[in-house]
Structure 1
Amino acid sequence: MPTTKDRLIDTGVKRGPERAFLVAVEASEHDSVWSAEDSLDELGALARTAGAEVVGTMLQRLPHPDVNTYVGKGRAQELSDTEKQLNCDLVIFDDELTPTQQRNLEKLLNARVVDRTALILDIFAQHAHSREGHLQVELAQLEYRLPRLSGQDVEFTRQAGGSRGAASGVGGAIGVRGPGETMLEIDRRRIRSRISELKSEIEDVRKQRAIHRRQRAAQAIPVVAVVGYTNAGKSTLFNALTEAGVLAENKLFATLDPVTRHIVLPNHQEVLLTDTVGFIQKLPTRLIAAFRATLEEVIEADILLEVVDISHENAIEQSETVQEVLEELE
């Protein structure tokens, strides 16, 4: 079970939040409904949700990200100079970096390197409260970190906050917070063994959820799953309909663990309403796989009620992203 010490951001340090510089590549060959600028803005919101202070951004247009340094070599050197001038603690990239890209960037930059996937996993680590949530976050983190593990990485972890623990509490630094953090200090064999254990425990959770779904089905009460983009207002609507008191904050991924409540509609129709985790563009495939047990509540629902924040400037892109993730779940 995670402790209160494993956090990407050390909110207990008096010097204040970690200073983050954001980097994105607009790849001409990449087909996406999202513009690079909007995606970079969203990365900033993710960084602030994790507890960082965004001090600058860089956007480069390329046919595709550089295989060695993500941005071009010239911009990589410019990035190194800029982040030193701004005294950055970490540099966050708007795509998942390959292990090679991450190692090369860490050598070049005088700051910790975090990609979008690690950032999302970190936020999930903060917001996981149930045993099921912790298991799924740890699995996703370990599968992400395993190909990136090396002797240098382990030493870096010890120096950069690995001694602070491994959970969703208040210590640690961005990129290394979460229930799987201490596993970086042991070898690949132990990590693979832990991954196997987690998959087995999560499978038990899936079986238990399946039993609950069969029991609900026997009652012939339709299940309605509230879905939507993260921070679109799902939990606010859920609370209005059920008075459940589910945490509803103006933050990304404020809700992680699904909650189901029984309600009666004005026409006297009984319904089981389920609040679910929000979706986001560039949602890591491994995160979808790790949270399969939770997301099956969406897959098995009788009706999907999508909440769209029509006041958001990217409402259309957000809705299209939700549809893409739902198709991936099928």
Structure 2
Amino acid sequence: MELTTVWFALIAVLWVGYFCLEGFDFGVGMLLPVLSRNETERRVMINTIGPVWDGNEVWVLVAGGATFAAFPEWYATLFSGFYLPLLLILVALIVRGLSFEYRHKREADAWKGRWDLAIIWGSFVPAVLWGVAFANIVAGVPIDADKEFTGTLLTLLNPYGLLGGLVTLTLFATHGAMFVALKTDGDIRHRARDLSVRIGAVAALLAVVFLAWTQVKTGTAASAVVFVVAALSLVGALFAAMRGREGWAFVGTFLTIGLAVIGLFVALFPDVMPSTTDPAFSLTTTNAAATAYTLKVMTWVAVVFTPIVLGYQAWTYWVFRKRIAVHHIPSPVLADAAK
């Protein structure tokens, strides 16, 4: 197997890791005002992702760095053509990160309320725009002979791209609700489980339409198989949730998102960014790749450091595996209450 194909597959794996892990982060953030009824429950929800959200974001950084090193032409065309959506995602992630760090600095309700809005919108914006971006990557965008994107922001906001955004939005919300149900106890656990089924039903409908549309546009026999298994995984997750099996339900949504991303990359291969202007202008794993020596060095680096990163992140999840309930949250200390 050529190293260009290997690195295409590795980049796909990185995106699978990012969407499966950061996906429930986004879901928890978006559902903060829906599932929590008071400040204590909001703290419970935030604490479920508190130890892991920043580690989950590392996946997208590595995916971007790997794309830059392995496929510089793909990186250049993608980041220049999708500049505004990617900038909005970056700003949302920055604001969201700040909210986790600063929310607890003061006890004033107004202060916490503003940072809660930052968490909600900082989760909502990437959840939608990542779907829009990937839908357009798979379907193709206008690229000229110089490998430059010739469209505009409105080019990306097409019906297929917007449907992709709705799919990621609802899938991440379902995934997040499953995670809250898995990581909490008490009333919030039951509310999260019930909500995951309701949102999941909507996500299933949208996902089936989107994946069928993708299959018609650019799918292969292999991608069709992956898409069908992804759909079955989501159905299984919803049935597991209805029976109170939160662990299996979360595994189901995890597999659904992972398989959907794999299916998109399978449908995309051997292109990395198809051109709707002329298929001859499309970026492929061959004409967008770095030199063979660069790919060889990167491969050895990945062989050494990937197990270390995976082991560390697995250890983190194991350490913080226990459920959280409202009785685990201490009452806030109101210093100088007389003032």
Query: Which structure's residues are more often strand, by fraction?
Result: 1
Q: TM-score, normalised by structure 2?
A: 0.24
Q: Which has the higher contact order (CA 8 A, sep 6+)?
A: 2
Query: Which structure's residues are more often helix, by fraction?
Result: 2
